[in-house]
Amino acid sequence: MIDEFNIVLAGVGGQGILLAAEILGTAAVKDGLNARVSEIHGMAQRGGAVVSNVRIGAKVLAPTVLDGNADIILGFEQIETLRNMKFASERTIVIMNSERLMPPELTAKKARYPSLEEIIRRINAFTKNVIVIEASKLAKEAGNILAQNTVLLGASAAVGKIPVKAETIIETLRELIPQKQLDVNIRAFNIGYEKARETAKP
């Protein structure tokens, strides 16, 4: 068993972050690994900032990731990804959804949303390992935009060195996703997996 593997999931309410964290944690346990899952701040209502931690490994006791200790940051929204770069180090892999959701404070100030290039440049100050996935677009291709969380799970399974088998994550989807949405979510996972493998190729 590995000693410690840390995943930070960041985005806004309504993007399925808490479910994605639950899927990762449950899949880890299925694979015989020790796991802790937590929501460290924010509220899961639509539009509010949400951050969840998934910690996997023999030495994992506390549920929260310390600053600079994320192995993966799974970013569901660009600005929320950038806001959570305190968890990153040069070894961190950032897998980020290209979707942009204007935060209320920017709207109130009539501020400009940074370009994708600016966001990536700022992330690169912490780590050069950045993969951008059009998760919302790919989820639509799979059949439901709400499946963007499983697109990102597929992407992380492909390139994130997660110590959980992709097959176990799919098995967990079968348990935690309602039957009527299951086929779409499995398709979304597989699409995200393949797209990330293509994107990560040198």
Query: CA 68, CA 117: separation in Å to the nearest integer?
Result: 23
Query: CA 27, CA 19: separation in Å to the nearest integer?
Result: 12
With tokens 């880890």, the residue in question is 28
Residues, the chain: 202
CATH of the domain at 173: 3.40.920.10
User: Which residue range forms the structural domain that includes residue 23?
Assistant: 5-200
pLDDT of residue 53: 96
Cβ atoms of residues 72 and 8 within 8 Å: yes
The tally of domains found in the chain comes to 1
The two structure tokens encoding residue 36: 């802790």
SS3 175: helix
pLDDT of residue 76: 95
Enumerate helices (H) and strands (E) in the chain, giving the number of each.
8, 6
With a cut of 70, which residues of the chain have pLDDT below it?
Answer: 40-47, 103-109, 201-202
* pLDDT tens digit sequence for 30-69: 999 999 999 865 554 556 789 999 999 999 988 899 999 9
Q: Record the pTM.
A: 0.92
